[in-house]
A = this chain, B = another copy of it.
Amino acid sequence: MKRERLIFVTNDDSYASKGFEAAITLARRFGEVVAVAPMTPQSGKSQAFTIYEPLYLKTLRKEEGLHVYGLSGTPVDCVKMAFDHLLLDRKIDLVLSGINHGSNSAVNVLYSGTMGAAIEGSFYGCPSVGLSLTDHDADADFEAAMLYGERIIRAVLERPLQTQLCLNVNVPVARPEEIRGVKVCRQARGFWRESFVSCRDPHDREYFWLTGAFSNHEPEADDTDERALEEKYVSVVPVQVDMTDYRNLAAVEQMLADDTQQ
């Protein structure tokens, strides 16, 4: 008898988000599901994990083939809790992080709690998929994201690569029939340009609140995730974690040569 697959699900919008429920529904099509999500929204938490505080784990749901927990930490904490504690002695076949309410394309891969968790999953040698829908609405329609998510997960499970695999999958807001397919692409260059809204709280203390918009620095490029999404494709960027700027190694060596030798 074929062993049933084990899928681990997490996200960064908390266990109370519609996207988390959608991810669980999607994951159950592939086998047993264990899910741990943060107790509170953790968007923008990146690869953060908790050092200075204890973590509390709460069982939210236990039924045949499905265990759901809430954790008082970050998305990365949720992954560590699964691999280092809850599922310590079991083989996890896939990490599914999402479905995120909002895009994680381009440089958002660095800020995203969803992708932080997916990257963390890949550190344990487990294929990981971060799945995001470019719609922040709490009641977003996940139909297309689930349809394409299912196809991508099936491919990952049935044709495993020999290397560490982490995919940043973003789905544009569209009806499934409007989506033109899947494009494997590279992360677009670009950064957020932001400002602080300043106001006074009821205790007359000034506070600041961040607001801003993403700026694509290469709108003309046709091989980026940003472009794919604009053109109503599902974008898939394989992600790796060596951040060394190889192209600048020699220049930095030259720059430092005179000043840093004794």
Is the interface on chain A under 10, 10 to 19, 20 to 34, or 35 or more residues? Answer: 35 or more
Docked Cα-Cα span, A262 to B233, in Å, equals 12
| A1 interface residue (CB < 8 Å to B) | no
Shortest Cβ distance from A53 into B: residue: B209
| A31 interface residue (CB < 8 Å to B) | no
How far does the Cβ of A100 sit from chain B's closest Cβ, in whole Å? Answer: 13
Which chain B residues lie closer than 8 Å to A84 at the CB level?
Answer: 194-196, 210
Which chain B residues lie closer than 8 Å to A209 at the CB level?
Answer: 54-55
| 0/1 interface trace, chain A 174-189, chain B, CB 8 Å (1 if under) | 0000000110101101
| A85 interface residue (CB < 8 Å to B) | yes
Docked Cα-Cα span, A32 to B118, in Å, equals 41
Interface centre among A151, A161, A167, A208 (most CB of B within 10 A): A208
| 0/1 interface trace, chain A 71-92, chain B, CB 8 Å (1 if under) | 0001001001100110000000
| A8 interface residue (CB < 8 Å to B) | no
| A205 interface residue (CB < 8 Å to B) | yes
Which chain B residues lie closer than 8 Å to A70 at the CB level?
Answer: none
Which chain B residues lie closer than 8 Å to A186 at the CB level?
Answer: 242, 244, 246, 249
Docked Cα-Cα span, A194 to B80, in Å, equals 8
| Chain A contacts to B: CB under 8 angstroms | 41, 43-52, 54-57, 74, 77, 80-81, 84-85, 107, 109-111, 116, 119, 123-124, 148, 151-152, 154-156, 158-159, 161, 163, 165-167, 181-182, 184, 186-187, 189, 191-192, 194-196, 199, 201, 205-210, 234, 236-249, 251-253, 255-256, 258-262
